[in-house]
Amino acid sequence: MSSGHILVVDDEPDIRNLVKEILEDEGFEVSIAESGEAARHARRKRRPDLILLDIWMDDVDGITLLREWSEGGDLPCPVVIMSGHGTVETAVEATRLGAYDFIEKPISLAKLLLVVSRALESQKLQQENQGLKRQALPVAEPAGKSEAMQALREQAQRIAQHNTWVLVSGEPGSGKEVVARYIHAHSSLRDQPFVEVAVGSMSAEHSAAELFGSEEDNNIVYGRLEQANGGTLLLGNISD
């Protein structure tokens, strides 16, 4: 089974530790949270690939967390609900809020592994579809047929084969962003995000939130660094 980071949220120690051991034996990296508030903290600390979420907890119930995490759009990762006291209404509400599936307690080992595998595969397919959509877009490239422009394109293609920092310099309007996108399109990261940050126009008071994200009323807004994770981050106008 493929690896991934899974967050297990349950207020019953025996259950969360058992699920953790099972998933770690399958090669997953697992974080655990014993309450709704601990789940919020764990999710802020590191973005999971999948969340296994108990419904009934003393401080914050799973439906409330689902509602928080789905505000403003789709859930950032698949969420599978776990409950020993589930009702049809609860399952319907969880599904409406974007939950991937519903597992009843006592948890079946076979059902757990099957649902986890399917949820992660669904997430992978969604990411691949996004990559295919990006591939379908026309690749911007430095325009011109002169020897200098041909040499620039060849140099950019060579650079794209290396996983390293790249400094693109030039006069305003000379096409630095086009070169950056051209390098990204010819690299092994072409299917991953390309995120641009106009550093020169960022205010000092908002720069940290822009880059690293923010949280307000338990609603997490991921920063540009997180959005570009696995892809390319273009820091524009750094000399301004």
Beta bridge partners of 194: 232
pLDDT band for 37, please (50, 70, 90 cuts). very high
Span 28-48, mean pLDDT?
Answer: 91
Q: Report the pLDDT value the prediction gives residue 29, as an integer from 0 to 100.
A: 94
* Residues 6 or more apart whose Cβ sits within 8 Å of residue 80: 50, 51, 52, 53, 99, 100, 101, 102, 103, 115, 116, 119
pTM over 0.75: no
* Whether the predicted pLDDT of 30 surpasses 90: yes
- What DSSP string runs through 138-197? PPP-----SHHHHHHHHHHHHHTTS-S------STTS-HHHHHHHHHHTSTTTTS-EEEE
State residue 35's pLDDT score. 94
> Which position has the higher pLDDT, 129 or 19?
19
Residue 106, preceding peptide bond in cis (omega within 30° of 0): yes
pLDDT for the residue numbered 48? 92
Residue 151 has pLDDT above 70, yes or no: yes
Sign of CA dihedral 14, 17, 19, 22: negative
Q: What is the pLDDT of residues 162-207, one digit of tens each?
A: 988 899 888 887 888 889 888 998 898 888 888 888 877 777 777 7
The rounded distance, in Å, linking the Cα atoms of 131 and 128 is 5
Q: Give SS3 for 234.
A: strand
The answer to whether the CB of 195 falls within 8 A of the CB of 154 is no
Which domains occur in the chain, in start order? 5-132 (3.40.50.2300), 147-236 (3.40.50.300)
Give the gyration radius of the chain's Cα atoms: 22
| 190: amino acid identity, one letter | R
